[in-house]
Amino acid sequence: MGRLVIASNRTAPPGQPRAGGLAVALADALAERGGGVWFGWSGEITDREQRGLRMLTEGAVDFALADLTEAEHETYYLGYANRTLWPVFHYRVDLARFDEAAFAGYEDVNRRFGRLLAGLTRPDDVVWLHDYHFLLMGQEMRVSGWDGPLGFFLHIPFPAPEVFTALPQHARLARGMAAFDLLGFQTDRDTANFRRYLVENCAAEVLDDYRLRVFERIVETRTFSIGIDAAEMAAMATASEAAAAAARIGRIIESRALVIGVDRMDYSKGLPQRMEAFGRMLDEHPELHGRVSFLQIAPPSRETLDAYAALREELDRLSGNINAEIADLDWQPIRYLARGYGRDTLAGLFRVARVGLVTPLYDGMNLVAKEYVAAQDPEDPGVLVLSEFAGAAEQMKTALVINPHDIAGMADAIYRALHMPLDERRERWRALDEAVRSHDIAWWRRGFLSALDATRRTSEASQPVAAGQ
């Protein structure tokens, strides 16, 4: 078995904490394969072009780190990836900025990174690229001579073809994505959207439920719903750090029921709608005044982008208005914290929360939903209120599934969750916990890599797809 070669926009090199579940999962995948290469942006922005790589080694893993210039960071990362692809893929075409210069920068970085990574590969390697930053990078690797197994996983949604075609460069992106042997998506809906786009716009021939012939290549598309380390989260929720966090919030809210939301501050997460729904529930049920508190944790992100600054202002206004109207001397209905907390603290907060609100307008998967379930006390579990537009809704059928645009419906779901009998809470939680544990992060990575390994054995010989065609 050859090495595993991974590329992600950010890596977790030696000496840096692996805070996220994905970073840990990829590190574990490299360890299981006996080592390999992890390639990505160093996080450094330089004044002048640095064409080479900085190499670091930890055990059997080589970390290959590439810097970005200020211009590349502006066009590739802030520009095309986050001002164009992110909003379009989350069905917010109205927020997208279509800038030819930004796409040119995105294309240039994908070309440079693809050539750099191709230069690190060996003939028996398996290459796995991650996320929307690298849609064109696989094609550049093909042009640079890499003809081995090449896989890609998209962590965010893939939109309906009618939305994807809003991108002026959609045909170029699709041809780039067709350079991969295996494309993995979060949900069956995402997979179907991509396949339908190829059939309707690229004259793809459907070979079976997974494979298509397009651009003179065989491309395989599958759903691999990412999970969490459920056992780790369950253990974390009963550890001393979590207990301390639970005790701290308990001293603040006393005997009140806790409703919790934890999200990066992003317009895709539906945070204003969530606050409005909680406020509406309190308006409709004044008997709950002083008896329930909503804790929303929302660490800021991408603060230099206008849409994110506007979102923060809106959340400040909404939470302030609700608190000003109905708070009392000893009760604050909404505690809105624009900062992040460690996973051990969050585990403790999840465990004591009677209701978990995960209500994005659109999301690839949303692992907070799974973390909330894994952290629960089996004898007295909370209730998950989940958006139908979160990828997790495909697996988590016994949550209270809502439409995040329906404020009245969400308010009703929060009220129902707060009053749900213990037997029903246990029954719903057991089904959710089984789904989270059976489709965990190890299941995800092993499933993808097994399918990618199989492409070496079963796929037809493919010709490189020429860049820019």
With both helix axes pointing from N to C terminus, report the angle between 367-374 and 422-438 in degrees, rounded to the nearest 10. Answer: 120
Q: Give the pair of three-digit tokens for residue 322.
A: 């609700």
DSSP string over 246-261: HHHHHHHHTTSEEEEE
Neighbours of 395 (CB within 10 A): 18
C-alpha 285/C-alpha 87 separation (Å) is 36
Q: Assess whether 289 carries a catalytic annotation.
A: no
* Structure-block tokens of residue 277: 């729904």
Residues 6 or more apart whose CB falls under 8 angstroms from that of 7 comprise: 38, 39, 40, 113, 117, 127, 128, 129, 130, 134, 137
Distance CA(177)–CA(139), nearest Å, equals: 7
DSSP category for residue 84: I
Using CA atoms, how far apart are residues 12 and 35, in angstroms rounded to an integer? 14
Do residues 367 and 226 touch, judged by C-beta distance below 8 A? yes
Residues making up the chain, counted from first to last: 469
- CB distance 259 to 336 below 8 Å: no
Whether 363 is catalytic: yes
Q: Find the radius of gyration of the CA atoms of the chain.
A: 23
Listed in order, strand segments (DSSP E) in 59-130 are 61-69, 126-130
Say which residue the tokens 């064109």 belong to: 136
DSSP annotation of 333:
S
Question: Of 28, 99, 155, 412, which one is the catalytic site residue?
Answer: 155
Residues 327 and 199: their CA atoms lie apart, in Å, by 55
| Distances, alpha carbon 208 to alpha carbons 153, 154, 216, 222, 448, in Å | 20, 21, 16, 12, 18
Contacts of residue 332, Cβ cutoff 8 Å, sequence gap at least 6 = 293, 323
Classify residue 58 by burial, with Cβ atoms within 10 Å: 0-12, 13-18, 19+: middle
Both tokens assigned to 245: 């966090």
* Chain centre distance of CA 18: 16
What is the C-alpha separation between 335 and 238, in angstroms, rounded?
Answer: 24
Catalytic residue among 363, 433, 439, 440: 363
DSSP category for residue 204: P
Q: Which residues are catalytic?
A: 155, 363
